[in-house]
């Protein structure tokens, strides 16, 4: 019962279109009109086409050239990050910097918007006379001992 929603989505978006695609590949249907079944004529024509084999060859070459780079470079970086080398901390910082920068920017923006003395929200609340409702940015998480 728990798998029913996933199975339904799989059937609607994957299985049924795949079956229809295979059935349509056995016809010479152009998108409108009558379906004429030509059985495997489309496949034999495809296998006899020179351009098809050129595209297969180019795909294989691309895969064989790109796969070592896609796997090799990240593997080399992972080995460098866990090995005992000089400057390992610097390498980790450089490697993680792109993912850290977004969190830093979001934190600075929240401090700019909700800061206790410099926040835009608190400034606007002060302009309308709502001094008692000024928002305080909590830079530390609230601990149970804070409220005692």
- Could you report the per-residue pLDDT of 96-115, keeping only the tens digit for each? 888 889 999 998 888 888 77
Instruction: Return the pLDDT at 12.
Output: 96
Residue with tokens 């998108």: 31
Instruction: Return the pLDDT at 45.
Output: 94
Q: What is the pTM of this model?
A: 0.51
* Integer Cα distance of 113 and 125 in angstroms: 12
- Residue 121 exposed, middle or buried by CB count within 10 Å (0-12, 13-18, 19+): middle
Instruction: Return the pLDDT at 145.
Output: 58
* Integer Cα distance of 119 and 113 in angstroms: 5
Instruction: Return the pLDDT at 19.
Output: 96
Would you give the distance in Å from CA 112 to the centre of its chain?
A: 29
116: CB partners within 8 A, 6+ apart: 122, 134, 136, 137
Instruction: Return the pLDDT at 142.
Output: 59
Q: DSSP assignment, residue 27?
A: B
Low-confidence ranges of the chain (pLDDT < 50): 148
Here the contacts of 89-96 (C-beta below 8 Å, separation 24 or greater) are none
Instruction: Return the pLDDT at 1.
Output: 80
Sign (positive/negative) of CA torsion 114, 120, 126, 130? negative
Instruction: Return the pLDDT at 144.
Output: 61
């Amino acid at each position: 019962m728990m798998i029913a929603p996933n199975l339904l989505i799989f059937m609607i978006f994957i299985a049924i279109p795949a079956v229809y695609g295979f059935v349509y590949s056995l016809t010479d249907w152009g998108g409108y009109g009558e379906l004429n079944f030509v059985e495997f004529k489309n496949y034999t024509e495809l296998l006899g086409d020179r351009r098809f084999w050129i595209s297969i060859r180019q795909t294989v070459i691309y895969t064989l050239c790109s796969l070592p780079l896609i796997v090799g470079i990240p593997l080399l970086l992972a080995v460098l990050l866990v090995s005992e080398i000089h400057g390992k901390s610097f390498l980790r910082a450089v490697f993680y910097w792109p993912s850290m920068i977004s969190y830093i920017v979001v934190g600075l923006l929240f401090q700019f918007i909700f800061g206790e003395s410099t926040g835009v929200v608190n400034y606007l609340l002060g302009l309308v006379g709502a001094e008692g409702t000024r928002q305080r940015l909590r830079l530390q998480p609230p601990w149970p001992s804070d409220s005692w």
